[in-house]
Amino acid sequence: MTYSWDRRIARAGELSRTCPAASELLIFYQQLARFQKSVFERLAAAGEHDVPALLPFFAELIALVRKAGSPSLAKAAAALEMDSKEERLSLLDSVWQHQVETGDLAGEYALFAQALLQPYAEFLAGKSQMTDEGSPSLCPFCGSKPQLAVLRPEGDGAKRFLICSLCATEWTYRRVICPNCGEENKDRLPVFSAQEFDYVRLDACDTCHTYIKAIDLSKNGNAVPIVDELASISLNLWAQENKYHKMRPNLFGV
Ligand SMILES: [Zn+2]
Ligand SMILES: [Zn+2]
């Protein structure tokens, strides 16, 4: 199950009105999602589907970020503007081939790499036939870490799925196990939630001190996980203060 670009764009608009604390971020995300939708559509229309096919989109993304991004992102956009084609390509390749973790990329470059690779990976994943076997902690299509978890109602309870941070593929994952280190002891896997987001929780692990956010669709069927994750960004900051690291930071590095 994937969410259309239009649904993500609309949800970002809705939440920007109801979650004032994350409003600015959601409005910026909405602009990025519109850009990503157009990259997705232009890739679908083109015959070339290798990573270099993304190079022509850099200029547009740089202009968007310079106009709508934070001062530090605008600075990174200006630096990227000076980079050669080869440097831009190597930025994309290094993330696509898992040579670097996005959290380790210099400055704010992670946003640019992900903003371009997400629609690319999602386009390729949509064309492939995938089997949902076992319970891998990395994406069965592109090998990236999950961005978040989602709980869907099933029988009397809910089933947990992970959503890929790059290609948005969703796959089933056992409920009581840490996707980062494999810890299975329930006592070491605390779950945190906050009153203002009763359908959002943090599945944490006291063995590796990471967490993954989970969106509970049995409590809020309107949620679009990737967008609601941004709306509830205050929980990420709470986790940081409590020494839990996110398994994979979102598009904005949080
Ligand atoms: Zn993936
Ligand atoms: Zn763990």
DSSP secondary structure letters along 143-187: -PPEEEEEEEEETTEEEEEEEETTT--EEE--SSS-TTT----GG
What parts of the chain have a pLDDT lower than 50?
none
Among the bound ligands, name the one nearest to the CA of residue 181: 2
Q: Which residues surround ligand 1, an ion (CB under 5 A)?
A: 139, 141-142, 144, 164, 166-167, 169
Q: Provide the token pair at 253.
A: 């590095």
- pLDDT of 105 reads 73
Among the bound ligands, name the one nearest to the CA of residue 121: 1
| Residue 221 Cα to ligand 2 middle (Å) | 28
Among the bound ligands, name the one nearest to the CA of residue 185: 2
| Residue 182 Cα to ligand 2 middle (Å) | 6
- pLDDT of 100 reads 83
H-only helix segments in the chain: 5-18, 23-45, 58-68, 71-82, 85-96, 109-127, 225-231, 233-241
Q: Please give the span between the terminal C-alpha atoms of the chain, in angstroms, as a whole number.
A: 25
- pLDDT of 48 reads 80
Q: Provide the token pair at 129.
A: 């036939």
The 3-state DSSP class for residue 85 equals helix
| Residue 164 Cα to ligand 1 middle (Å) | 5
| Residue 145 Cα to ligand 1 middle (Å) | 8
- pLDDT of 132 reads 65
Among the bound ligands, name the one nearest to the CA of residue 117: 1
- pLDDT of 102 reads 74
Distance CA 24, CA 232 (A): 13
pTM of the shown model: 0.94
- Measured at the CA of 129, the angle between CA 92 and CA 101, to 5 degrees, comes to 25
| Residue 160 Cα to ligand 1 middle (Å) | 17
